[in-house]
């Protein structure tokens, strides 16, 4: 089921770092987007995620970044999510 491994980074104010595990876990384990394909995600650790082939990386990054921004994780700045294959 989890066919792809991703490195997940966040960028806030031009500063890039691995995404905290608790942020990944909160988003992936609760379906805030009503998008069933995001159920096929498994956070492995800080900045690490496994997904099924159903998960579109661009769609996941956009939805996750929007969710983080709305929750104030960027301290008033937008949060950009960057994915790359592990």
* Best CA proximity match to 18, nearest among 3, 7, 6: 7
Percent of the chain with pLDDT over 70: 91
* Cβ burial, residue 55 (10 Å; 0-12/13-18/19+): buried
Instruction: Report DSSP state, residue 1.
Output: -
Residue 66's CB: how many other CB atoms inside 10 A?
15
Q: Determine which of 13-22, 29-38, 55-64 has the lowest per-residue pLDDT on average.
A: 29-38
pLDDT score, position 26: 87
pLDDT in tens, 39-61: 888 999 999 999 999 889 999 99
* pLDDT of res. 82: 98
pLDDT for position 83: 96
Domain ranges in the chain are 4-85
Cα–Cα distance for residue pair 74/16, rounded to 1 Å: 12
pTM over 0.85: yes
26-30 LR contacts (CB < 8 Å, sep 24+)? 27/64, 27/67, 27/68
């Amino acid at each position: 089921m989890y066919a792809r491994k991703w490195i997940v980074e966040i960028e806030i104010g031009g500063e890039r770092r691995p995404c905290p595990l608790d942020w990944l876990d909160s988003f992936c384990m609760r379906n805030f987007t009503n998008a069933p394909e995001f159920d096929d995600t498994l956070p492995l650790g800080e900045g690490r995620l496994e997904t099924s082939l159903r998960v579109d990386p661009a769609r996941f990054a956009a939805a996750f970044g929007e969710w983080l921004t709305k929750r104030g994780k960027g301290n008033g700045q937008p949060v950009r999510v960057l994915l790359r294959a592990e």
